């Protein structure tokens, strides 16, 4: 049998379906049974099945919060009276080991009178959603990463783009992962890997026409008239200064 882990605070659904072959506490009329459930401090009661007699039907569901270490529910069946106090029909204990280990239990549990005699049975359907789950669960870790071998595929079959083009004999299998720089053995060098040099005509020819005699330089000495200075060693008479330049000092 499996073990139920960490049931504290977990939810257990209990449906009271019906009772069968109950002890009849009425002499003249039909009895009106109802069922009480008790688990720890939690107590529930079904509605009264008026004139239910020995085989009342309830179909009522209750939810219990489980307590660690407490694996049984007390069940008591009564007959409702309008004048006197209610009559005790029978009681029993519902074991939870099966529902906690398998998640489901549909059983008719026996009832006994105070003297220990059989008083009928009560049918309960129980559901427990957290079967075989630890109280603290962790996500499963993925498989360790393994570097793929060149030419091999990390799948059971090759990817479609590789499987549709089988590798010719004598050539290594292409990798299913494209690379930014493919091997030069499989691909020719690009003609645009380097910038082509300019044509030779641009090196020999000048953008400017050659200077010739038809275009005199504006900076040649012939473009300016001779200076109006007198010859070297010339002296002017006193008070006479021809031209616009003062006399040179000797």
pLDDT value at position 135? 46
> In the beta sheet, which residues pair with residue 92?
75
pLDDT bracket for residue 138 (50, 70, 90): very low
Q: How far is CA 36 from CA 6, 127, 208, 211, in A?
A: 27, 18, 115, 124
Q: How far apart are CA 171 and CA 162, in angstroms?
A: 14
Is 16 in a helix, a strand, or coil? strand
pLDDT, tens only, 235-246: 656 655 555 555
Maximal C-alpha separation, the chain? 176
Average pLDDT value for the chain: 75
Mean pLDDT, residues 182-191: 56
Structure-token pair, residue 140: 């499963």
Q: How far apart are CA 124 and CA 99, in angstroms?
A: 11
The C-alpha angle 19, 11, 44, rounded to 5 degrees, equals: 40
For the chain, list the domains and their CATH numbers.
11-128 (2.60.40.150)
pLDDT at 101 over 50: yes
pLDDT, tens only, 29-42: 899 999 999 999 99
pLDDT bracket for residue 6 (50, 70, 90): confident
């Amino acid at each position: 049998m499996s073990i139920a882990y960490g049931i504290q605070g977990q939810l257990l659904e209990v449906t009271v379906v019906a009772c069968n072959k109950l002890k009849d506490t009425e002499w003249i009329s039909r009895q009106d049974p109802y069922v009480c459930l008790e688990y720890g401090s939690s107590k529930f009661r079904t509605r009264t099945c008026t004139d239910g007699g020995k085989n009342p039907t309830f179909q009522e569901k209750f939810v219990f919060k489980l307590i660690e270490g407490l694996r049984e529910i007390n069940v008591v069946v009564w007959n409702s009276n309008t004048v006197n106090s209610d009559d005790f029909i029978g009681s029993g204990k519902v074991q939870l080991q099966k529902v906690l280990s398998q998640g489901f239990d549909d059983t008719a549990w026996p009832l006994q009178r105070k003297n220990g005699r059989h008083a009928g049975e009560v049918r309960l359907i129980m559901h427990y959603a957290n079967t075989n789950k630890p109280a603290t669960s962790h996500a499963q870790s993925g498989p360790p990463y393994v570097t793929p071998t060149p030419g091999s595929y990390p799948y059971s079959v090759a990817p479609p783009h590789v499987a549709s083009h089988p590798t010719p004999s004598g050539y290594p299998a292409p990798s299913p992962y494209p690379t930014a720089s493919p091997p030069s053995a499989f691909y020719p060098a690009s003609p645009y890997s380097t910038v082509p040099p300019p044509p030779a005509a641009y090196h020999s020819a000048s953008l400017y026409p050659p200077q010739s005699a038809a275009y005199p330089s504006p900076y040649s000495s012939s473009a300016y008239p001779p200076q109006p200075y007198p010859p070297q060693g010339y002296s002017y008479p006193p008070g006479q200064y021809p031209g616009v330049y003062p006399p040179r000092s000797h």
